[in-house]
Chain A
């Protein structure tokens, strides 16, 4: 629970979503193993964005991938 009490926001408590990279795919169960910027690994539901590719960036919220990061985005 302490993870939710820190001041960095909690991806599942609020409406925040985080970019994660796909490192393993389980097509049968619509799940992917993903890694966050800080190296944390999570199992992610990919039914809303499948098919996904290894190495692809996904936007993940509450254990579910909602979108994917488009290539070629510019900062400003």
Chain B
């Protein structure tokens, strides 16, 4: 298929890997963070890290939307799912994310009407088919998913669907990156930028990384050659003493993003003053709420949401994994008490989570490289 097959060419991949080998300084250890969970998944699915020199380390960032949802927010969702008459809809991964006492799947087993949807528009369709029920959509995700929720809310308002509401837990990518760069326990040399978030917001918002922190960035696609080429672009910038935003994924990502999507997001959402991230704590202006113009469709206005705050389980080190401070196999419960079948932490739930990617592709252990 066009735009897929040509980016999986093994011969070209080996050629790019050779260029990477030629550009790295053998006496230097490089730490490059791939921000997006989709990239983490692709890296282990295709064995990209095996093609890199041993002194080029890929660090996995906080860009898995399921992984960053705090336990208290899951409890809030479960409380809504247990409300009489509610049909609670969410994406498939969310049903397995552990709350403090149960998952949404457990709630479903207890009789709550929890349904998996593949798009918020499916949730709206369920609302129109069940006018006597209240249908709540648990919206998660970065700027990639937010436009879909925004379009759905605009349709709900346009068609005056009164029994539909959204529990908005959308987050934004720039504030956690700033938080990571301000963190004293992590030294990064550059970033592989999130290609699909950038499809919506554009490459421009990542300009602060070179401008304010002197870090090179390559916005990347998700195929093996995309990731190899983006790694090469970051390493070439480092070798040349440059720090810029380069757009490897230019076949899809415009510099200014999707202006129509940004416009509708501006209409439907407003920034929350702060939001709790799993493992990262509260980060200012890092999440979206439903705007006043759409307050009628805001589940947090319609229902009494408990607003639960729960500390992460002590054994779970998702926070350190999300910050890239440790690798998944270094977590005390990785692959033993915490597996994709019985996850303790969110990073083991979603296929995009770093722990699940390591587990599913057999990366159970590797000698830790010393920076």
Contacts and interface: CB of A to CB of B under 8 A. Distances in A.
Contacts, number: 161
Contacts of A16: 37-38, 41, 196, 222, 352
Given A19-B1, A37-B4, A61-B144, A9 B252 contact: no
B36 interface: yes
A62 interface: yes
A12 B91 contact: yes
B354 interface: no
Interface of B: 1-4, 6-7, 9, 12, 15-16, 36-38, 41, 45, 63-66, 91-96, 116-122, 141-142, 144-145, 147-148, 151, 194, 196-197, 199-200, 222, 225, 228-229, 250-254, 258, 260-261, 264, 340, 350-352, 356, 360-361
Contacts of B15: 76
Contacts of A6: 351
Contact of B258 (A8, A14, A48, A70): A48
Contact of B92 (A13, A64, A76): A13
A33 interface: no
Q: Which of A1, A3, A13 has the most CB of B within 10 A?
A: A13
A3 B121 contact: no
Given A57-B3, A67-B252, A73-B3, A17 B225 contact: no
Contacts of B94: 13
Shortest beta-carbon contacts, A-B, top 5: A4-B92, A63-B119, A73-B251, A13-B93, A14-B352
Report the interface size class on chain A.
35 or more
Prevailing SS type, chain A contact patch: loop
A62 B4 contact: no
Given A12-B118, A14-B65, A66-B258, A76 B252 contact: no
Contacts of A21: 1
Contacts of A1: 92, 95, 116
27 contacts: A1-B92, A1-B95, A5-B340, A10-B91, A10-B350, A12-B117, A14-B65, A15-B36, A15-B196, A16-B222, A17-B144, A17-B196, A48-B151, A49-B260, A59-B252, A61-B148, A62-B91, A62-B118, A63-B121, A66-B258, A66-B261, A67-B199, A67-B253, A70-B250, A70-B252, A75-B7, A76-B225
B162 to A, nearest CB: 21
Contacts of B117: 12
Given A12-B118, A15-B142, 13 more contacts: A5-B96, A7-B360, A9-B352, A12-B117, A13-B65, A13-B66, A13-B92, A15-B63, A48-B258, A62-B120, A62-B145, A62-B148, A67-B258
